[in-house]
Amino acid sequence: MVMPAPAVAGPGGAAPGSVADVRRSNLALVLGAIAEFPPGVHPSRAQLAGATGLTKASVSSLVLDLLDAGIVREIGLNPQERGRPGVGLELSPSRAVMGMEINVDYISAAVVDLAGTVLVREEEERDNRNSPDGPVLSALAALAARVRSTAGEHGVEVLGGGLAVPGLVDPALARVLTAPNLGWVNADLDLEALLPEAPLGVALFNEANAAALAELRHRPDGASDFLFVSGEVGVGGGIVIGSELFTGPHGHAGEVGHIVVDPDGGHCSCGGTGCLETVAGQDAIFAAAGLALDRGSRSADMSALLQALRAGEPRAVSAVERAARCLGIALASTARVVNIESVVLGGHFAVLEPWLRAPLLASLDKYAPGKYASSQVTMSAVGESGALLGAAGSVIRSLMEAPHRLHA
């Protein structure tokens, strides 16, 4: 995972702010340059000077700060360098962040190193519907402690983390404004309790937005404009335009699950009527398929649905086809508004692709003819780890942009 470094003035240019501001910017510049070298290539200080435009003396001084902070380590000599090889540098494999997720029917946590590799991951199925935030946070804190301990046994220190939740959030206040499927309204979360004494603390993210960012960083086709739609108990969405997440004026854009697809439809957890979620959400599909749900195991419920689909049971097939048609209506409406021609499907939409794809494409062709090519309707590149990777990746990016926070 390569994180972009902020643009900074070179040694001959002027940069605004104090000397300390310039040094902080250059510290990020050097760290970003180290991260941008291909895997297995360990740049020397001289190579970093060439890559950044800074003097060798400045780079050496900045590298010392990064070494002291433990973000970078020296690793032998660099044989690719001409002349006398210098000492190679790389992102420290003993430093990492944690991605965490609270969803309606599970909690999860993963330790991710600074290069974006998942080192430890654990998930726990748990029915969080209408459960107060306190007990859910306590359960997640216990899970995070186990994952953190496992990473620690291998010499990995967790610097901070990101938490993704299926609802509208105010990251500055660590507040979930509303998460209808959890039953949370204006819930102030004790994020520090999730990772006690972690120097970078814990940041809060919307689950679908976090997953969209993970898709952006891992897409094999390098797409920079797409709509990500995640199917869980709810249906979430994230809009990426020009390789940037579009969140709207208040950070709440992309709520695809609450586009009305049936004005005379059922009541939605958001308080509305006929939202996409009431037809294409996980529980809605299970109910329409006539399945007896096991509230203690979402994997068992999905296995039962897949078994019914493979057997060609009419109610199961009809439920998925209706969800696909309504998903097409919502995507058609979104395409008209934001002019996006590519969509990435995650969650149960990806799992159900063999039965969902044909009716979805037919729906798109009916309601938005010529807007989406079939090749532009793709499945998630990161699977169920999307929200974890996105939350962790955002924290890594913030560290890359401000590494002085660890050195202070």
| CA–CA distance, 392 with 377 (Å, rounded to integer) | 26
3-state secondary structure (DSSP) of residue 97 = strand
pLDDT band at 404 (very low <50, low <70, confident <90, very high): confident
Q: Per-residue pLDDT for 299 more than 90?
A: no
Q: Per-residue pLDDT for 356 more than 60?
A: yes
pLDDT band at 3 (very low <50, low <70, confident <90, very high): very low
H or E element at residue 6? none
Taking residues 171-197, report their average pLDDT. Answer: 94
Torsion of CA 72, 73, 79, 80, to 10 degrees: 0
pLDDT band at 294 (very low <50, low <70, confident <90, very high): low
pLDDT score for 99: 97
**Can you give the pTM of this predicted structure?**
0.86
| CA–CA distance, 181 with 403 (Å, rounded to integer) | 37
Strand 244-246 versus strand 87-91 pairing type: unpaired
Specify the higher pLDDT residue, 318 or 87: 318
| CA–CA distance, 145 with 210 (Å, rounded to integer) | 22
Q: What's the token pair of residue 392?
A: 């962790």
CA dist 292 → 281, 298, 301, 396 (Å) = 16, 12, 8, 42
pLDDT score for 2: 32
Angle at 315 between CA 313 and CA 317, to 5 degrees: 65
pLDDT score for 406: 80
- DSSP per residue over 183-245, as a string? TEEEEEP-GGGTSTT-TT-EEEEEHHHHHHHHHHHH-TT---SEEEEEESSSEEEEEEETTEE
Contact status, residue 162 vs residue 206, Cβ threshold 8 Å = no
Q: Per-residue pLDDT for 15 more than 60?
A: no
Q: What single-letter DSSP state applies at residue 115?
A: T
| CA–CA distance, 55 with 8 (Å, rounded to integer) | 14
pLDDT score for 324: 97
Each residue's pLDDT tens digit, 116-153: 999 999 999 999 988 999 999 999 999 999 999 999 99
Taking residues 163-189, report their average pLDDT. Answer: 94
| CA–CA distance, 378 with 357 (Å, rounded to integer) | 10
Angle at 241 between CA 99 and CA 320, to 5 degrees: 70
Q: What's the token pair of residue 318?
A: 């009809």
